[in-house]
Amino acid sequence: MTDPVRYSVQDGIAVIAVDNPPVNALSQAVRAGLAEAVARLSGDDQARAGVIYGAGRTFIAGADIREFGKPMAEPFLPDVIAAIEACEKPVVAALHGTALGGGLEVALGCHARVALASAKVGLPEVTLGILPGAGGTQRLPRIAGAAAALDLITSGRHVAAVEALKLGIVDAVVDGDDPLAAGLAHARRLADGEATGRRSGEIDPGAKDEALFADWRAKTKKSARGQISPMVAIDAIEAAYDLPFNEGMARERELFKELMASDQRAGLIHAFFAERAVAKIPEAEAASPREVASIGVIGGGTMGSGIAVAALNAGLPVTLVERDEASVERARGIVSKLLDDGVRRGKLSEARRDQILSRDFSTATDYSALAETDLVIEAVFEDMDVKKDVFRRLDGIAKAGAILATNTSYLDVNEIAAATSRPQDVIGFHFFSPAHVMRLLEVVVADKTAADVVATGFALAKKLRKVAVRAGVCDGFIGNRLLNTYRKAADYMVEDGASPYQIDAALVAFGFPMGPFAVSDLAGLDIAWAGRKRRAATRDPRERTVGIADRICERGWFGQKTGRGYYLYEPGARRGSPDPEVEAIIAAEREAKGIVPRSFTDEEIVSRYMAAMINEAAKIVEEGIALRPLDVDVTMLAGYGFPRWRGGPMQYADRLGLDTVLAELRRLSAEDGFFWEPAPLLVRLADEGQTFASLNERD
C-alpha cells in the first residue's frame, strides 16, 4: 500500500501529495499524514513554501464518510488545519477535480488557493446532515463574505472554479491539467514575495448584516422541509460574526457534534451510500454493457419527448419515430421547447441547442429509420396490445444485438418480450415525468433479459445522470406497486373519517413535498381510475374498495388539468383549495356504507401510511422484485419525494424498530382485515430482532 500522504521537495518547494483513492477522502491516516507533513515543512531548511495537492483524479473530496457514526480518531481535522494555517512558511492548495467538505476546509486553511479551470469546490455537508465542522463556517465568510457563505453552506452546491474566483474563494484559476505545476508556480511567487498569502482565520469578517441572516433563515426554513442541518449551519455561520475566531470554532464544533449524533445524519448518509450501492447488481458484475452510440424513441408525447431530451442532453444522437407528419411536428415542438427551457435555465448554451436540433435530433414516420439504432425506447400509449404491436414491428427491422426497451410504469415486460423473436434483448425502463428532469429510472428485468442488456441499462442511466434501480416484473414494479398500496391506506382513512386535506398536511409535515391527494391531482385522477378498472377483474375479493375517487372521476374532475380534483384550482394555479363538494361526496359515500366517521390524529395518519408502505416493501423484497431493502429506499427517495433525511421507508422502519411496525400491522389487521396482514419477511426479521439493513449486504 502506498503512503496516503507523501512529502518531497522540488526546487525549494515542499510537495505534499494526498494519495488515498478513489477520492482522497480525509481518513485518519490522511489527517495524520498531513499533520506530519506540515510539521516537516516547518523544520525543513530545503523548503521555502509548500503545496498540497491530490494525486489521481481529484483534490480531497471531503471527510471519509465511512468513519461517520463511529468514535472519531485523532488527529482531528480542525487541529490539522490549524497547524497548516499556523505554518510560518506559505502553503498553497492546488485544486483539481472536486475540493469538497473537509477538502475545501483544508484549502481554506492554506495561505492561498489555485484551481484548474475544470475544478469544483463546495461545502456539501448539510446534504449529509452535518455542517462544515473543520472551520468552514468560520473561514468561508471571512474569505467570501456572508452572502456567499450562506448560499454555499446551506445549499451544499458545487461551484465551478470561475465562480469560486469571483467569490474570492480561490486566488487564481489556471488552464491545463497539471494542478501540481500550478501550485508550484504560485508557491514560488509567494516565497519570492511576488504574491501575498493570507491566514483566513485572521481576517476581520466585518459587521453582521442582520437582515441578510433573517432573510436566509426564513428562506431556508421553507426549503429545508424538516431537515435541520441547513438551519443549524446558519447558526454556525452567525457565530463567525458574533464571536472571536477561536470561540466561533468552538461553537461550530459543538453544533457539528450535535448534528453528527442525529438520526437525520444517519438517514442522509444511508441515502448517499444506497444511491451508489444500487448500481451493484449481479448482471453488471457478470457482463459488460453493449455499446450504445445511438438512441431511437418511438412515440413523441410528453414521455417520449422527455426521454429524447434526456438522451440528447447526454450527447447521444436520437431518432424519434411518430405515426404521421402532424405527430412528428408536435414532438419536434415539445423537444424544442424543452431544450429552450434548458437554455433559459443556463443548463445549455444556445449554440449547443442549435447543434442538437440540426445535427443530433432526427425524426421519421417509418420504423425503417431505426434499422441501425443501438437502443430503441418505445414510449407509446400504456396499453398492452399497442405495445405488443410496436415490438412485433420493431423485431422486424431492428439490427441484431439492438436493445429494445419499453417505457412502462406497470405492464408485464415478459409479455411484451414474448411478442418478439429476441426476448433476451428486451428490457423495461420506467422513466418518471418529466423524463429529462427526474432522477429515477427503474430498470425492469424480465425473465429472459440478457445480463449484458441489464448492464447496458445501468450504463445508459449513468450517462443520462440518472439513478437506476433494478426491478423485477410485477404490476407497478417497485415504485408504483408501493404507491398503489399506500394510496389505498390513505383512501381507507378518508372513508373512515379523515379528510384528504388533513392527510396531505400530515404527510407534508412528515417531509414529503406534497401529500398523496395533491399528487393524484397533479398526475391526473383519470390514470389511476383506468388502473382500478383494469385491476377490477383480478382483484382479491377480500380487498376493501373505496368508491370516492370513482365518484370524483365520474363528474369529469381529473385534477389540476380540469381545474378540479380533490382540490379546487383557480385557472393556471398549481396549489388548490379544499373543495366542499368533494367533502360532500365523501360524506355520502360513508353514509351509503354505514360508516360513522371518526377522527384521526396526524400521528395515526403517518403511522398507517408508513405501515402500509413498509409492509408492501417487505413483500417486494421477499419476492425478489427489489434486490435489497436499499433499492426500495432509493426508489422512494429519487422518484416519490420521500424525505431524504429519513433515509427511505426501510431505513425509517429500522429506526422505528421492526417489532413496533409489526405490532401496528397486527393491530390494524385485527381491526380492518386482510390489507394489513404482515408480510412474512417482516415477521421473521422482527422475531429475530433483525433489521432490513441486515439484508443490504449481498454475498
For ligand TC6, the closer CB: 158 or 684: 158
Q: Angle 319-322-327 (CA atoms, 0-180°, nearest 5)?
A: 120
**Shortest spacing between CB 53 and ligand TC6, in angstroms:** 16
**Shortest spacing between CB 69 and ligand TC6, in angstroms:** 12
For ligand TC6, the closer CB: 233 or 650: 233
**What are the cell numbers at 697?**
449486504
How many residues appear in the chain?
Answer: 699
CA–chain centroid gap for 150, Å, is 22
Say which DSSP state 121 is in.
E
For ligand TC6, the closer CB: 22 or 71: 22
Site for ligand TC6 in 42-101 (CB under 6 A): 61-66, 77, 98, 100-101
Give the Cα separation of 545 and 345 in Å (integer): 45
**Shortest spacing between CB 107 and ligand TC6, in angstroms:** 12
Asked if 644 and 580 touch (Cβ cutoff 8 Å), the reply is: no
DSSP string, 604-618: HHHHHHHHHHHHHHH
Give the Cα separation of 245 and 548 in Å (integer): 61
Asked if 357 and 378 touch (Cβ cutoff 8 Å), the reply is: no
Residues whose CB is less than 8 angstroms from the CB of residue 644 and which lie 6 or more positions away in sequence, other chains included? 227, 267, 268, 271, 637
Is 102 an interacting residue with respect to ligand TC6 (CB under 6 A)?
Answer: yes
3-class SS of residue 242: helix
Give the Cα separation of 179 and 194 in Å (integer): 20
Give the Cα separation of 476 and 528 in Å (integer): 12
Angle subtended by helix axes 516-523 and 500-510, to nearest 10? 100
For ligand TC6, the closer CB: 130 or 662: 130
Count of residues touching ligand TC6 (by CB under 6 A): 20
For ligand TC6, the closer CB: 273 or 674: 273
Give the Cα separation of 93 and 50 in Å (integer): 9
**Shortest spacing between CB 248 and ligand TC6, in angstroms:** 15
**What are the cell numbers at 451?**
445480463
**Shortest spacing between CB 54 and ligand TC6, in angstroms:** 11
Site for ligand TC6 in 127-166 (CB under 6 A): 128, 133-134
For ligand TC6, the closer CB: 613 or 637: 637
3-class SS of residue 427: strand
For ligand TC6, the closer CB: 103 or 649: 103
For ligand TC6, the closer CB: 125 or 495: 125
**Grid cell 394489513 — which residue?**
676
Identify whether 125 is a catalytic site residue.
yes
**Shortest spacing between CB 257 and ligand TC6, in angstroms:** 10
Question: Which one, of 102, 122, 105, 126, lies nearest residue 220 by Cα?
Answer: 126
Write out the H or E segment, with its range, that includes residue 61. none
For ligand TC6, the closer CB: 441 or 658: 441
Give the Cα separation of 24 and 59 in Å (integer): 7
For ligand TC6, the closer CB: 64 or 504: 64
- Whole-Å CA distances, 239 to 152, 214, 335: 17, 14, 48
Site for ligand TC6 in 105-134 (CB under 6 A): 124-125, 128, 133-134
**Shortest spacing between CB 119 and ligand TC6, in angstroms:** 11
**What are the cell numbers at 361?**
435530433
Q: Beta strand pairing status for 98-100 and 361-364?
A: unpaired
Site for ligand TC6 in 256-295 (CB under 6 A): 276
For ligand TC6, the closer CB: 101 or 342: 101
Strand extents, DSSP E, 42-197: 49-54, 91-95, 98-100, 112-116, 120-122, 159-160, 172-174
Catalytic annotation, pick one of 36, 85, 105, 442: 105
For ligand TC6, the closer CB: 22 or 346: 22
Asked if 250 and 133 touch (Cβ cutoff 8 Å), the reply is: no
Among 14, 23, 115, 271, binds ligand TC6 (CB under 6 A): 23
Give the Cα separation of 23 and 321 in Å (integer): 42
Cis status, amide bond into 205, omega within 30 of 0: no
Write out the H or E segment, with its range, that includes residue 7. strand 5-10
The residues that bridge with 121 in the sheet, in sequence order, are: 99, 159
Q: Which residues of 287-322 are buried (b: 16+ CB within 10 A; e: fewer)?
A: eebbebebbbbbbbeebbbbbbbbbbbbebbbbbbb
Asked if 485 and 475 touch (Cβ cutoff 8 Å), the reply is: no
Asked if 55 and 15 touch (Cβ cutoff 8 Å), the reply is: no
Catalytic annotation, pick one of 125, 275, 442, 616: 125
Question: Which one, of 128, 122, 125, 64, lies nearest residue 95 by Cα?
Answer: 122
Question: Which one of 3-11, 17-25, 474-482, 487-495 is the stretch in contact with ligand TC6 (CB under 6 A)?
Answer: 17-25
For ligand TC6, the closer CB: 134 or 140: 134
Identify whether 664 is a catalytic site residue.
no
Cis status, amide bond into 75, omega within 30 of 0: yes
Question: Which one, of 317, 361, 316, lies nearest residue 335 by Cα?
Answer: 361
Burial class (CB in 10 A: 0-12, 13-18, 19+), 381: exposed
Question: Which one, of 632, 642, 637, lies nearest residue 609 by Cα?
Answer: 642
Question: Active-site residues: which are they?
Answer: 105, 125
Q: Which residues bind ligand TC6 (CB under 6 A)?
A: 22-23, 25, 61-66, 77, 98, 100-102, 124-125, 128, 133-134, 276
